[in-house]
Each structure stands twice: as structure tokens, then as C-alpha cells.
């Protein structure tokens, strides 16, 4: 009888049995998550440990330090280059300003040189007079500065030593032709008052017609309506 029962249990005709777990599903999922997390941590640890053994982290840290050093050096070099550039720009600006000032000084010296030459030309004509005490005209110059404008210069002197001051008038007149006809003009409508203390130089501009041909220029020194000195030049 027992043998039959045992045979029945061990054969295909044995009754089916169902094994059910008593653990709930949430605990199963939690346990699975813990297992997976532990496995992942273990894998990460193994990966990091493997890199450390292989020396990968060591080389990466060295390369990172080297790159940081190179970046610092490049920044320092860039700062020096910018400083040199700023200094060069400042020097160029200073040099340009100095050149402009030098050009202005050269132009001023050239103008002063011309004025000194003009003065020298006038004073070279200062020769001893006759001793009469009357002023004389020792220099008369005419220069065309424009098509319709002339510049005149005249030097009046008292050659006598310790001569008293001379008060009078000066008159500059121009003569020539205009369209083939006689023409004349004066530097002013009325004679110009002058006060000569040893010497006096006067200059001015006069407008003339563009078609006028100036042939002679005359300078007169007047006092009380009388002519004290006269000087004429031909052009």
C-alpha cells in the first residue's frame, strides 16, 4: 500500500503542488533595488580601482596640472604683451606730439628769420646823415602779395645823434598805367601821422586794380604841409 502511494507521488499521475512565497511584492522590489545598487557600487569601485592600478588617474592629474600651469604662463605673457603694446602706443603718441611741436617751432623760427632778414636789410641802410636834423627815408620796399594787393615797407631815420623827436606825416603814393592810361593811388586817403624817435619803420597793404601796372612808388615825410624827405623807387 505504501509502495503504491509512493509510486503515485513519483509518477506523472501524481497530484500538482503550488509553492507560494510569503514575501510581499514591495519588499521584493526593494530587495532587488538594493541588490542592483550594491552591484552598481561594486562595479564603480572596481572601475575606479582598475584605473588607479593602471595609472590613468595619475596621468590625468599631471596633465591637468600641466595645462593649468601653461594657461597661467600664457595669461602672464598676454598681460606683458598688452603692457608693451600700451607703452608703445603711448610713446608713439608722445613722439607724434613732439614732432608736431617741433614743426611749429621750425615754422616760427623761419618766420622770425625772415623778419630778422628784413630788419637787417633796413638797418644796413642806416648810414650817417648830413647833420641837418631832418628825418630821411633810407629804405622803401614793395612786394606784391596778391593780384590786387601790394605790401609796402618804409624806414625813416634821424641820423643826427640825440636829435629831438620828429612829429609829422607820411605819405605813400603809387603811379603807373591802367588800361594804357595814366594811373595813381595812395596808401591812405590822408597822410598817416608818424612820430620818429631815432628811427621808425612802417608797413602796410594797399589795394590796386588787377589791370594796373605800377611803375613808381614814392614815400614822403611831411611837417606842416612841407615835404621834409622824399624817396622814389622804380619797379
Give the tens place of pLDDT for each residue, 147-179. 889 899 998 888 776 778 889 999 999 999 988
Angle at 76 between CA 70 and CA 80, to 5 degrees: 140
The whole-number pLDDT of residue 216 equals 92
Average pLDDT over residues 44-67: 65
The whole-number pLDDT of residue 78 equals 82
The whole-number pLDDT of residue 22 equals 57
82-106 tens-digit pLDDT: 887 788 777 888 888 888 888 888 8
SS3 sequence of 180-198: CEEEEEECCCCCEEEEEEC
Min mean pLDDT across 15-19, 31-35, 72-76, 226-230 is at: 15-19
Instruction: Give strand ranges (E) for 116-211.
Output: 136-146, 149-157, 166-178, 181-186, 192-196, 199-207
The whole-number pLDDT of residue 20 equals 55
Average pLDDT over residues 102-116: 84
Amino acid at each position: 500500500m505504501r509502495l503504491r502511494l509512493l509510486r503515485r507521488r513519483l509518477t506523472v499521475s501524481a497530484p500538482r503542488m503550488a509553492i507560494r512565497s510569503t514575501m510581499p511584492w514591495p519588499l521584493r522590489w526593494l530587495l532587488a533595488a538594493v541588490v542592483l545598487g550594491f552591484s552598481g557600487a561594486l562595479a564603480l569601485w572596481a572601475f575606479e580601482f582598475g584605473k588607479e592600478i593602471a595609472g590613468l588617474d595619475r596621468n590625468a592629474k599631471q596633465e591637468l596640472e600641466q595645462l593649468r600651469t601653461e594657461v597661467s604662463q600664457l595669461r602672464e605673457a598676454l598681460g606683458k604683451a598688452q603692457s608693451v603694446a600700451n607703452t608703445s602706443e603711448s610713446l608713439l603718441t608722445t613722439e607724434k606730439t613732439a614732432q608736431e611741436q617741433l614743426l611749429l617751432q621750425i615754422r616760427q623760427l623761419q618766420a622770425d628769420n625772415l623778419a630778422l632778414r628784413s630788419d637787417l636789410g633796413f638797418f644796413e641802410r642806416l648810414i650817417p646823415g648830413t647833420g641837418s636834423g631832418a628825418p630821411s627815408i633810407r629804405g622803401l620796399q614793395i612786394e606784391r602779395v596778391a593780384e590786387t594787393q601790394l605790401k609796402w615797407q618804409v624806414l625813416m631815420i634821424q641820423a643826427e645823434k640825440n636829435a629831438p623827436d620828429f612829429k609829422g606825416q607820411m605819405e605813400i603814393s603809387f603811379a603807373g598805367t591802367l588800361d594804357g592810361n595814366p594811373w595813381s593811388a595812395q596808401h591812405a586817403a590822408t597822410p598817416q601821422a608818424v612820430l620818429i624817435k631815432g628811427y621808425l619803420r612802417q608797413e602796410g597793404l594797399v589795394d590796386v586794380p588787377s589791370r594796373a601796372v605800377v611803375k613808381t612808388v614814392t614815400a614822403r615825410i611831411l611837417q606842416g604841409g612841407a615835404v621834409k624827405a622824399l624817396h622814389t623807387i622804380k619797379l
